[in-house]
Structure 1
Amino acid sequence: MESPDRPDAAAMRAYTDELRDMFREIQDRGPELYAQARTVQITETSRDGLVSVTVSARGELVRLDLDPRIYRRPDARHLADVITDTAQRATAKAQQRVLEIFEPVVPRAELQAHLDGDIDAVLEQLANRMEGNG
């Protein structure tokens, strides 16, 4: 008799099979997908068009371009905020592109939780899938 607090054996077997299939797919396609992800670069331009930021797949700053017109408005705080906002939008788009690349082999929600460093979500997804709820 199964305990209500423990996942049933069939659900755990199904999850194990799913993990095995996912692992095989990652082994087969992983190097190709990783190579694609490494080449991701996203350029985002500020709403006013004066700041352009390029980031890598990991959100690292690759390039920063400032239009000379920024000197017409010498407001360092505003400029810093515009650069920060533009870089954050570029990073979010880069992350979305990486998710798209790996989506065929890793469930999007799982990879998103890992990229966000959300350990609680990762553990909750794992528990749900072990119980056959995922």
Structure 2
Amino acid sequence: MFKGLGGLGDMSKMMKAAQEMQGKMEKIQKDLETITVTGESGAGLVKATATAKGELTGLDIDPSIFVASEKEVVEDLILAAIKDAQSRATERSHEEMKKIQDELGLPASMNLPF
């Protein structure tokens, strides 16, 4: 009676899997907003905190480095700490995406999010 429609069951499974993947991607995107990483420079004299999405949320500077003649050094340390935090955020984001890929059985070469 419904010959040729036998593949609808497979399509239904695919749609369910796609919805599941979409839900997991939405969750990981929200999680990346709350996961924090800290970058450092100057042996911890300057610390920058960011979300795993790369948004800078904090900066901690040891007051001992505030010497007028060292202004350029302080600026360099601040930039280095921010870059370190951003690099760590990118790395953490990739780690979280890899977890989703592994969980869903997707190939490692697939770049998420699409």
TM-score if structure 1 supplies the norm length? 0.57
- Give the CA RMSD over aligned residues: 2.9
Letter in 1 for 2:111: E
Cα separation, 2, equivalents of 1:108 and 1:97: 17
Secondary structure of the corresponding residue to residue 34 of structure 1: helix
- Give the secondary structure class of the aligned counterpart of 1:91: helix
Larger RCO of the pair (alpha carbons < 8 Å, separation 6+): 1
Uncovered stretches (5+) of structure 1, i.e. residues with no partner: 1-19, 115-134
Q: Does 1:91 align with 2:86?
A: yes
The CA deviation at 1:81 is 1.0
1:42, 1:93 within 8 Å by CA — same for their partners in 2?
yes
Amino acid at match of 1:110: N
Question: How far did residue 24 of structure 1 move?
Answer: 4.3
1:2-21 matches, cutoff 5 A: none
- Report the Cα distance in structure 1 between the residues aligned to 2:17 and 2:79, rounded to whole angstroms: 37
Superposition TM-score, scaled by structure 2 size:
0.65
**Pick aligned residue for 1:47 from 42, 45, 61:** 42
Unaligned runs of at least 5 residues, structure 2? 1-14
Query: Percent identity over the alignment?
Result: 27
Equivalent of 1:69 in 64, 79, 85: 64
